[in-house]
Amino acid sequence: MAIPSLSLLFLFTSLPLFSSSPVKDPELVVQDLHRAINVSRRNLKYLSCATGNPIDDCWRCDPNWEKNRRRLADCAIGFGKNAIGGRDGKLYIVTDSSDDDPVNPKPGTLRHAVIQDEPLWIVFAHDMTIQLKEELIMNSFKTIDGRGASVHIAGGPCITIQFVTNIIIHGLHIHDCKQGGNAMVRDSPRHYGWRTTSDGDGVSIFGGSHIWVDHNSLSNCKDGLIDAIYGSTAITISNNHMTHHDKVMLLGHSDSYMKDKNMQVTIAFNHFGKGLIQRMPRCRHGYFHVVNNDYTHWEMYAIGGSANPTINSQGNRFTAPNDIFSKEVTKHEDAPESEWKNWNWRSEGDLMVNGAFFTRSGAGASSSYAKASSLGARPSSHVATITTNAGALNCKKGSRC
């Protein structure tokens, strides 16, 4: 991922830095997580679709999901579990797929919805493809909910979550994203500013917190499919289907950017599918829980990193590609073995298929991290069932999703 111009940080001066609580000890995060899940399940009369996927079991059995859309916000798990998005706001219906003016967007467009100051739960009146002229700069406390329509964001710059908090992105097809920039773009009703050249990510998280990216289909973007950098934290990336891309997911700005030590990301129940090459994810500095994902394709490596990240891989299925590609799951980047052998990279209960192998390192995580899992891993033998519906769902009103 290209390093943005530093001028970028000063262009949106009216936009407040994300307001998140200090990052807790991972063990305390996990304790809070399990308490919150139990309370949420009691309050929601917890459903069970018997999929083994706790997110889907929380809401997908409800035939009235369309009338109970906001229930989704109480189903998050992992480090992004507190991302409520627009749960407490009004419903905003996108009726217009155009994006003619990024400075003065028309009411009824997606851009007009995401820049508003108040919390909003954003839905779509019908199937649509939205080709954005410039990055979609989101404001805090927004949910983009594509359920009930086939919504594609494609062919232009895509979604940017910069210095904001409480965002849910659900049920979208995000693909063929391109670079934008060198243009004025509005980020709130009160402010617009000059954007330098963007990277061309599908979803770019830049200094954001409490973010949940769930049940999207992503492919073929200019840079990353989902990148999180510059001190972003409290993120869950779940139930997504990713295909046909080189550098899939970057988590961490640079080896020298020490604020990313606070980054905590859960990567759960995703299907890393056809045509992928590397970075599923590539990590720096922080703590990354990679749990119950299905890896069926990689050419260079699946999980890699530099700058001493802690990587906890649990209950994943790694199916190595044909012999002309690498069967090693891991890649320790930008460091000699004398250095990376001390990085805490653990594999527990992972299923290795067709010669796949995971190079472990470190003598064991710290006492806090050793106990810290952002959610409980199911056996790797269940991964096919858990991830079978990864990607954007075909939800019909009046029936189970």
The answer to whether 335 and 361 are in contact (CB under 8 A) is: no
Catalytic residue among 195, 279, 284, 378: 279
Cα–Cα distance for residue pair 28/232, rounded to 1 Å: 19
The answer to whether 145 and 72 are in contact (CB under 8 A) is: yes
> Which residue from 320, 263, 270, 307 is spatially nearest to 290, judged by alpha carbons?
270
Question: What is the phi/psi pair of residue 288, to 5°?
Answer: -130, 120
Would you call 279 a catalytic residue per the annotation? yes
Q: If residue 219 lies in a helix (H) or strand (E), which one and from where to where?
A: strand 217-219
Distances (CA, A) of 287 to 33, 264, 293, 310: 16, 5, 17, 5
Cα-Cα end-to-end distance for the chain: 35
Show Cβ contacts of residue 201 under 8 Å, excluding neighbours closer than 6 positions.
1, 158, 159, 160, 177, 221, 222, 223, 224, 225, 226, 227
Active site residues: 279
